[in-house]
A and B are shown apart, each in its own frame.
Chain A
């Protein structure tokens, strides 16, 4: 759960329809963003609903860096106002969410950054971004050998010799 701190009204400007949110990253950077932009995040939306119930303004502390948070905000800004199927509560089945062209370029980052973004997207409950990141990762290892997959995603072969040669563990036809 995020830590929520009360803030002064003057800290978070904006009233009515153009309300702003204050997001605080793990490196203690304060980022003001329009609530409308972040409405794609179910997590943020739920937080905002909580604010409304208590009639208090809050800053939302998030457990990832400002660099990652800014990337997420960039994504949400780009798709502001768009309807994305994956963000529907009953989204399309997995495997049918091709990475959009813009997403491809947006996610053209190094492996660790991509993994940080997908974690942040998962935390913020932005299904469309999770789907795009997942597809990007799947594309990275598509058609690769097992060894190449390990190399790309930084994973060690931890099979024991017995597991390695177990007929039930690998199906080779």
Chain B
């Protein structure tokens, strides 16, 4: 409304306010004072009368005009200041400004962590500033930000010298996190990395290189890291150093941190030649990552270095070890506090290194090795090496997460085509179980696996050492040739299993195995949640006796004191009849039936369902993220708690064949209820839904329907 004061009519003193609609201009909130428009109009009129001569002829004099312009500019500037003050007053009563200062600072802190300055942003726009744009919103926001040094501690040197110095100044004495890299060409002034690091050495806490794709001079980064490592001056607060950049090798100084780096705990070394691994400063590390060492360690070098790093909690070694020399058998690398071990080494190197390590049973392991396909099934060397680490010793608890995956010949080729490694052994940290639980997941699909290899391997894992700790079991397709008795033989040593998820033929055999019991001694006595995925049409199951066997088994367990808490049935290709579900619910009240789509012969129906879903989404104005919603081919999963729906959709990207994208949509939608065969009262929100890539294709996994009393 104040902008109306700049209207020509107001400035000329006109009293015609017909162009000023808001009646609030004419009334005062306090009643006794003159209303805003009257006050400001009178004040403005008075000022203009004093500044602008009434005699028009005088305005022909250039000197007079210049003087008038000067006066009017001063008036305008003064009014802008007044306007600014009024806006400040307005802001003071806005809801966001009435938040407690610490709460508002929390918002800014969160924003700074999720909206970092963007090195690739168009320099002509302010979008590249990231969260700093928020400091340009108003005075209060800027003052709060400027008074909070920790907001400014992330200094991205590639953004240029002025930026870096300004951020460091604003950070004050807060520990700095430097993102190293040369200035981009769009920036006017490159920062001298070496000078900057030297100047701020006392407050640098964290150093990491910029993404190599964004930096244009890895040599600069390597130089500054080398100078820091070789400096005789201390780095008193340096905690984390990530040195080197991918694809560029550099030389390490012979001695490290002569001046001392008492707080150094995390170190990542990439592409470094001749790193001084015997440096005393490394003994205090809690995290060490070595990537692509151009001069790979020999085993004796690794052993002597790691033997001294007894405080390590995280160790990651990637393509950095030669396996051409032996370690004396007496050498033992004890890492009692290790939590995470990631090895991306040759199978031989990984096995030989593991055989000399002694690790706590709670450590999480990830091993990624390139192996010939025909060797992928031979896990015996690895199992033996794991045994050597001590984690499988009777006195120690086993690993908390082990996940084994092997891939079919077809998928394997896809991986090779994309230059990816074959992750033949891989751990998963996705599912957070209690530390003492073991999550076992076998997803074999290899057509090349020698017959019997799976049985031998699974039997070895589920022996007396690991078996009692297994709580979750997921079985894939490669054990479909197992008989029910083989299931009993292998998993009788796993009495703590509470959750089982099985597919196809495995599911049928497991039901048969569960039905085998002598008296009250049930197979898998602790089993609480059973998830069955059938490829077969379960409507035919009655004729196949499977459904009846399932009923009998559930009834027997219920009567024998080992009832199931939840039963989930995924039927493929057709719907599970409601009558069957009701019968099952009579025994296991929390029974959920799912119709998992995806069968070729039913695609038309799915297309209809997807179109219905899309139409409904559009009708409700719900935006579906993703690029090619029209290419959706399948509804893969869906769940509801009666209020909201979760959809997992697979689409085929028409522009990049063999690439699948997915959508998860959580609107309040209604869809053809025949897809979902359970009353809403029986359903719970999906506990976990994830997808993973199998070569060229993503596969969705529905872990569980969350139930309050179900532990998985």
Binding site for B on A (CB under 8 A): 94-97, 101-102, 105, 111-112, 115-116, 118-119, 122, 130-131, 134-135, 137-139, 141-146, 149-150, 153-161, 163, 168-173
Contacts and interface: CB of A to CB of B under 8 A. Distances in A.
Interface in B133-166: 133-139, 141-142, 159-160, 162-163, 166
A94 B106 contact: yes
A80 to B, nearest CB: 10
Given A138-B114, A155-B94, A171-B162, A163 B127 contact: no
A2 B134 CA distance: 34
B139 A159 contact: yes
B539 interface: no
B126 interface: yes
Given A130-B106, A142-B111, A158 B139 contact: yes
B159 A173 contact: yes
Contact of B137 (A101, A119, A157): A157
Contacts of B137: 146, 149-150, 153, 155, 157
A157 to B, nearest CB: 6
- Residue of B80, B106, B159, B167 with most chain A CB atoms under a 10 A cut-off: B106
B133 A149 contact: yes
B114 A122 contact: no
Contacts of A116: 95
Interface stretch (B30-38, B82-90, B225-233, B674-682): B82-90
B110 A171 contact: no
| 8 closest residue pairs by CB, A with B | A95-B113, A158-B87, A156-B87, A138-B110, A158-B88, A138-B111, A115-B95, A173-B163
A101 B689 CA distance: 12
Contacts of A96: 113
Contacts of A159: 84, 136, 138-139
A49 to B, nearest CB: 23
A53 B129 CA distance: 54
A135 B106 CA distance: 9
Contacts of B95: 111-112, 115-116, 154
A19 B111 CA distance: 40
A131 B102 CA distance: 11
A170 B132 CA distance: 9
B432 to A, nearest CB: 12
Nearest to B115: A142
Contacts of B94: 153-156
Interface string B102-138: 0100110111111100000000001111001111111
Contacts of B408: none
Contacts of A143: 115, 127
B112 A95 contact: yes
B602 interface: no
Interface string B68-99: 00000000010011001101101100111111
Interface string B573-606: 0000000000000000000000000000000000
A145 to B, nearest CB: 7
A95 B160 CA distance: 26
B162 A160 contact: no
B710 to A, nearest CB: 14
A131 B113 CA distance: 13
Nearest to A144: B133
A96 B114 CA distance: 10
A139 B87 contact: no
Contacts of B88: 156, 158
A134 B106 contact: yes
Contacts of B162: 171, 173
